[in-house]
Amino acid sequence: MEDLIDQISRGNVSQVKTVLASAIVVLALYQVFLMAVVYGKLKLPFLDGRAASFTHRAVGDTIVLLALIVGFMCIGYFEVGDGIEHARDGESGRAAVHVGAAFLLFAVLALKIVVVRWWHSMGRFLPLLGLSVLVLFLIVWATSAGDYLLGG
């Protein structure tokens, strides 16, 4: 598995993950903007709620796919326990937060998809679930890609 991921990224596993994770975060922020249009919090002359809702769903599907790829690269290459144990000095705390937030993120994301597609009676919790997903994406990014980019 490690060899496959290494080959696909041409030895730049961390860099590829950083680019993909950053793309995910900017798309997640765009999702909030789209939902503000859908809920009528933001009224724009060039975009209505119906079109914003369609784009929110399409971008959301893309985000899930990208997140699964990054998660697969992360676990396949670094592994959970080894990722924390092999973190640089004083960085195991950051790595542990990253791993914890990432697992929580996938759990909340899965719950959100279930609510959107099948569990409609829980629809009133969608804004809360959406914001939780955004916050978790930001934490996961800040404790890995953000830290890498800002030279932490």
Partner 1 sequence: MSERPSYAKQMVGSLLAAVLLVLIVVALVTAKIGPGPDATEIRERERAREERLEERQEMREERREDG
Contacts to partner 1 by CB under 8 A: 2, 6, 10-12, 15, 18-19, 22-23, 26-27, 30, 34, 45-48, 50-52, 54-55, 58-59, 62, 82, 85-86, 145, 149
Q: How far apart are CA 74 and CA 140, in angstroms?
A: 12
CB of 45 to partner 1, least distance (A): 6
Residue 60 carries which DSSP code? Answer: H
Instruction: For partner 1, give the closer residue by CB, 15 or 107.
Output: 15
Q: Which of 102, 145 has the CB closer to partner 1?
A: 145
- Rounded to the nearest whole angstrom, what is the least distance from the CB of residue 22 to partner 1 in the complex? 5
Are 133 and 126 in contact by the 8 Å Cβ rule? The answer is no
Give the C-alpha separation, 131 to 152, whole Å: 26
The Cα–Cα gap between 116 and 114 comes to: 6
